[in-house]
Every structure is written in C-alpha cells, then in structure tokens.
Amino acid sequence: MNLLLKARQLCIGLMCLIALSAHAQSLRKLDEPFSALARLAQNKPQAALDSLMAFEPEMASDPTTLAQYHLVLSQAFYNLTYPKKALEYAQLALTYTSLTEQPWLYHKVKISQALALENSGHASEALVEINDSVEWAKQHDPLLYLNSLFSRGIIFTTLTEYVSALNDFQLAYSLANDDPTTLSKAHIASMLAQVYEYRHEDKLSIPFYEEAIAAHRLNQAHLELSIALYGLGKANRSLGNITLAKAQLIESKETAEKIDDIQGVAYALKELADIEIIELKFEEAERDLKKAADIFAQADNHQMRFNVMLSLVNLSFKTSELSKAQAYLDQAEAFLDRANMPTHSIGFDEVKADLLYRQQHYQQAYERLLSAFSAHKKVQNNNSTERLHQLRSRFEIQLAQQENQVLSQKNAIQQLQLSSEKNDRIQLILISAFSLLACLLMLVTVQRSRAYKKKLEKLVNIDELTGLYNRRHTMQVLSEHIEWACKHNKNLCLAMIDLDWFKKINDSYGHLVGDKVLREFAYVFRKGLRGSDVIGRIGGEEFLAIFKQANGKQAHEALSHLSDQLRCIGRTIGEPNIQVTISVGLVEYQHEGTVESLLASADEALYIAKNNGRNQIVLAQRTLNPLSVQNQLSE
C-alpha cells in the first residue's frame, strides 16, 4: 500500500513539474503522460480510463494539469459512448483553462465538449459551440483544424446536413495522412462512409468502409476496426447481403469485447437482432435487443435506447403482439428529442402510423403518416437540395477563376511576343507551345465542367433506385405543365399511384426483391407512357404521373392498360407468387386551382381507392373533390 501511495505521489509530482515547465501561451500539444493516454484512448479507451482513474491529480495541482486530465477523461468516455460523462468532464476541463491564456487548449476542450453534446442528443447546440474553434484552428494550428473539421462533420451528419458534412470530411481527408497515431485518412474514410449510409447510398459507403478496415487491421486499431466493421455490416444488410453482414457484425462485437468496449458490443447486438428478425429468430432477437437496451441504459445513451425500442416494436409486429408494440413505442417516445433528432422523429411517426393502422385507427394512421411525409419533405428540401445548389454555384465560381487564369496566361504570352522581336523563331515556338497548353487547359476545363454539371443534374433530379424523376424535379415539371396547360387552354391529367401492399412484399421477400419490383414498375411505365407524359417517384412506393394533352378518360384508359402489364412483374423478376396491383387517384386539371389543391385532390382520391379495397382507379371531380367514379381493375 505504501509503495502504491509513493507511486501515486511520484506520478502527481511529475504531472505538476511538467505542467509548470510549459508555457500556456505556446501550448500546442498535450503534456506527458496525457499525450500518451490520449493516444491510448483512441484504441483502448477502457485501459486509458482505468489509468486515469488510478492516478487522479490533487485538486491543488496546476490548472493546466487539471484541464488536460479532465480533457483526456472526456475523450475516453466519449470513445466508450458515455455521452453524459464525456460532457461532464469536458465542462469541468473548461473551468481550468481560458481563451486568453491558453487558446489552443481551450479550443481543444471546446471541440470535445461539442462532440459530447452531439452524442447527448444536442447537435444544434454542439454546432454553435464548435464553429468558433474551427475558425481559430484554421488560422493558428493545422492539426487542430483537421480535428475540428472532422468533429464538425460528425455534428453536421447528425443534423442531416449531409452536404456540409461531406464538405468538412472531404477537406479533412485531403489534410490528413496515414499516421495511425493521429487522425488518419482511415478514420475520416469511416465517417465519409457513414454520410453515404445515412443518405441511403449504401453502395457508395462500402469502398470507404473497406479502406478504413484495411488500415485499422494493419495498425491493430481495434476500436476503430470494430466501428468500421459495424458500419460495413449495416450497409451490407441494407443491400440484402445478410450472410456477409452477419459475419461482419459478429466480428465487430467480438472485437469490441476484446477491448472492453461494452457499448460497441451493444451496437452490434442491436444490428444482429434486426437480422435475426429477418431470419424469423424472434426469441434470439428479443434476447439480444434487451441485452443491448440494458447496456445503453447504463450509459444513459438516449438515441440508441430509442433505436432499440423501435426494433422491439418491429419485433412485436412480427409476433402480432400489439400491446407490447404499444408499450415499446411509448418507451421510445420518452427518449425522443424532436428538436435535435429530426430523422428519428420521422421514423417514429412512420412506426406510430403503422401501429395505428394495425389497431384499425385508420384516420389517425393516415394523419400521422402525412405528418411524417411533410417532415421528411422539409428535411430533404432544407438540408439537401439547397446545399447541392450552393455546391454547384461554388464550383461555377471556381471554374470562372480557372478560365480567368487561362486568359491571364494567354495575355502574358502575347506581351512576350510584342516585347521581343529579335528571336522570331524562338518566340513562335514559345507562343505555339503556350497557346496549345492554354487551349488544352481550356478544353479539359470545359469537358470537366460539362461532365460535372451532368453528374450534378442527375444527382439533383433523378431517383437513384428507379431512374425516374425524384420528388423535387417531378413537382417542378408539374408546375411547368400546369402553366403550359393554362396558357394554351390544353388538357392535363395528374395521377397519384401507390403500389398495393408493398410493405408485405418487403417483409415476405426482402428489400432486395422489393427494389426489383420498384425498378420493374418504373420500366413498365417508362415504356408504356407517351413521350410527352411524365412519371416520377415521390415516396417509397408512391409515384406521380402527368398526362399532357389528355382528358380523364384517356388517362384512365392508359392507366388501366399499364396496370394489366404490371401483373407480369412477379414472373419477370423470378417471383411468380408476387401479384403487383396499384391504387390510383386521378384528377383532371380544368384551369383552376393551384398545384397544392390539385395534388390534394389526387391524394384524396388515392385515399378513397385504398380505403375501398385498393386495386382500382378513382377519378376526382372538376371541383377537385373526389366523387365515386371508380373502376375496379380486373383481378
């Protein structure tokens, strides 16, 4: 015991000696032993935490020592996913430092505080806290700037501001190197992959996850390896690669167990349970989910407790236990912070609508689903489209600057030609060479610009899965068609189309088959519609068709013909037992009303079609209120 006490006193004395010998104004890295412990916290956070707890400095120690001690504690708790503990120690570290005396250390602590706030479900507040640190680091410290960009990218991802997140991560990736003891390219690759995963672009995420995993295996970075394997497993599960996903998630869990990352184990268990639900292993799924819930409860991790409760609701749907589903959904709502969890809120409302429907509260289910759809539209419009336009504008500015540089080079060549008349041959060679270079540069710039614009237009306007117009562009085309019909006094019809019982197809055959159904549906309509007609995807299994210069009867006939062709989809995709039918709300534009009222009428007509048994077309009145002009499609 005396030996342990002496060792502790010696360690504290060493800490104080190091701290007193450092000048706060010139501090640019953590003192030892905190620098070594911070590196240990990156890969073995539990070991770092144990070491920190064993040698806690005295409260009378130098403030710089105390600030660094509590900062590294915060980082260890953050890596172990204990958000409240991480926030508590970051805020405590701030009390021992100041912006005027120790700006580098102050901003390093502020970055850790922002990450802890994000992990606690307060991402909006975290963004406010970190912005000043990003700007300071940009001017004063390249390594801290790299870390601040990476951290802010994480916060942007949580806020679903994916374009801003990609901007920060891509810039950080360009500044990073392959040194595993610092924030390396492999770390940033994992976060780039997560952004694409959250955007439901799982195929794009996989190369980044694989890059990160290869580097982490090589460097034996077990914590980061576990996290990257977890992300790759989720991506493969979404793509229908269930066997591969399960193996990757099991390896993630086992790797987390090796380093005592208990929450890492819980994350993997939650995803494995979702796979077990797909495999109809309901008892195993419930066991794993409850085990994960207990771990997240100990860590006070509200976001993951919310996610686990939704998985338990889904499990209860599978076992037809609606009372249990209601209880789990009530628990999920207790963990939901709508202000800071926008995508979680949309997911909650969708599950709530599903439960209301199963409880036969159809009107409430419909209203809740409409609310979720509106929220999704708002998030998508605010956080995606606008920023994609900003990105395009920024590129066009850069392109103009490049063209100005080319012109400047050309002017310089011309001045060189005028200033020297003695060496005509040499001048001619130089002028020709530089002119050729300028032309080649301009040609490359123009070609890259055209290719980029085409790629950007496709990204902004086209739905990736079906190849049809996405919701935003479909609505834009609808507005243009209505303006044209009004101006030229022409006919125009609008049809809101919903695939009947599509969720059952996903549940029974898997999302991979569901995706094939959606693509085949898109193919049938693209092939069957006239060149002047438009079809776009505006929701999961919901589509919008615009019939130019067609009255209600003509549009009705076209839809009836196409609905007959849809019955062959099951055989086409190799699933003959699948019967694809559609419900349609059809409205004829009569040069009155707005885009919103026209859509509302079509949507209401679609609701009637679905409520009356589906597999039918309902035509709305000229007053934009649906009437009972229905057509039961042949079985």
For the chain, which residues make up each domain, given as ranges? 1-139, 379-461, 471-632
Q: Mean pLDDT, to the nearest integer, of 21-35?
A: 63
Instruction: Classify strands 542-548 and 492-499 as parallel, antiparallel or unpaired.
Output: antiparallel
Q: Which has more confidence, 543 or 382?
A: 543
Question: What superfamily does domain 471-632 belong to in CATH?
Answer: Reverse transcriptase/Diguanylate cyclase domain (3.30.70.270)
Q: Residue 9: is its pLDDT beyond 60?
A: no
Q: Could you count the other beta carbons within 10 Å of the beta carbon of residue 1?
A: 5
The single residue of 541, 575, 604, 635 carrying the catalytic annotation is: 541
Q: Residue 519: is its pLDDT beyond 90?
A: yes
**Rounded Cα gap, residues 399 and 448, in angstroms:** 10
Name the range with the highest mean pLDDT among 156-160, 180-184, 523-527. Answer: 523-527
- Give pLDDT tens digits for 186-196: 888 888 888 88
Q: Rounded to an integer, what is the distance from CA 227 to the centroid of its chain?
A: 16
Q: Residue 128: is its pLDDT beyond 80?
A: yes
Q: Mean pLDDT, to the nearest integer, of 180-189?
A: 84
Q: Residue 349: is its pLDDT beyond 50?
A: yes
Give Cβ neighbours of residue 478 (< 8 Å, ≥ 6 apart). Answer: 494, 534, 544, 546, 595, 599
- Give pLDDT tens digits for 549-567: 999 999 999 999 999 999 8
Paired tokens of 68? 């660094």
pLDDT of residue 294: 92
Rounded to 10 deg, the angle between the 342-358 and 362-380 helix axes is 160
Q: At 470, is the secondary structure helix, strand, or coil?
A: coil
Q: Which residues of 155-174 are buried (b: 16+ CB within 10 A; e: fewer)?
A: bbbbbbbbbbbbbbbebbbe
Pick the range with the lowest mean pLDDT from 287-291, 298-302, 503-507. Answer: 298-302
542 a catalytic residue: no
Q: Which has more confidence, 145 or 432?
A: 145
pLDDT of residue 585: 95
pLDDT of residue 18: 39
Q: Which has more confidence, 81 or 268?
A: 268
Pick the range with the lowest mean pLDDT from 15-19, 161-165, 535-539. Answer: 15-19
The class of domain 1-139 in CATH terms is mainly alpha
pLDDT of residue 410: 62
- Classify residue 386 as exposed, middle or buried by CB count within 10 Å of its CB (0-12, 13-18, 19+): exposed
Q: Residue 353: is its pLDDT beyond 70?
A: yes
The answer to whether the CB of 219 falls within 8 A of the CB of 185 is no
Q: Residue 63: is its pLDDT beyond 60?
A: yes
- Give pLDDT tens digits for 604-633: 999 999 999 999 999 986 433 333 334 444
Q: Residue 544: is its pLDDT beyond 90?
A: yes
pLDDT of residue 406: 55
Q: Mean pLDDT, to the nearest integer, of 579-602?
A: 88
pLDDT of residue 154: 92
pLDDT of residue 60: 57
**Rounded Cα gap, residues 345 and 366, in angstroms:** 16
Q: Is residue 409 very low, low, confident or very high in pLDDT (cuts 50, 70, 90)?
A: low
Give me the helices (H) in 300-361, please. Answer: 302-318, 322-334, 342-358
Q: Is residue 299 very low, low, confident or very high in pLDDT (cuts 50, 70, 90)?
A: confident
pLDDT of residue 361: 87
Pick the range with the lowest mean pLDDT from 64-73, 416-425, 572-581, 609-618. Answer: 416-425
- Give pLDDT tens digits for 354-398: 888 888 888 888 888 887 777 666 655 554 444 444 444 444 444
Q: Mean pLDDT, to the nearest integer, of 100-124?
A: 90
pLDDT of residue 26: 43
pLDDT of residue 12: 41
Q: What global pTM score does this model have?
A: 0.49
pLDDT of residue 457: 57
Q: Which has more confidence, 5 or 538?
A: 538
The answer to whether the CB of 169 falls within 8 A of the CB of 131 is no
pLDDT of residue 422: 61
Average pLDDT, rounded, for the chain: 82
Q: Residue 421: is its pLDDT beyond 80?
A: no
Percent of the chain residues topping a pLDDT of 90: 33
Radius of gyration of the chain (CA): 30
Q: At 628, is the secondary structure helix, strand, or coil?
A: strand
Q: Residue 159: is its pLDDT beyond 90?
A: no
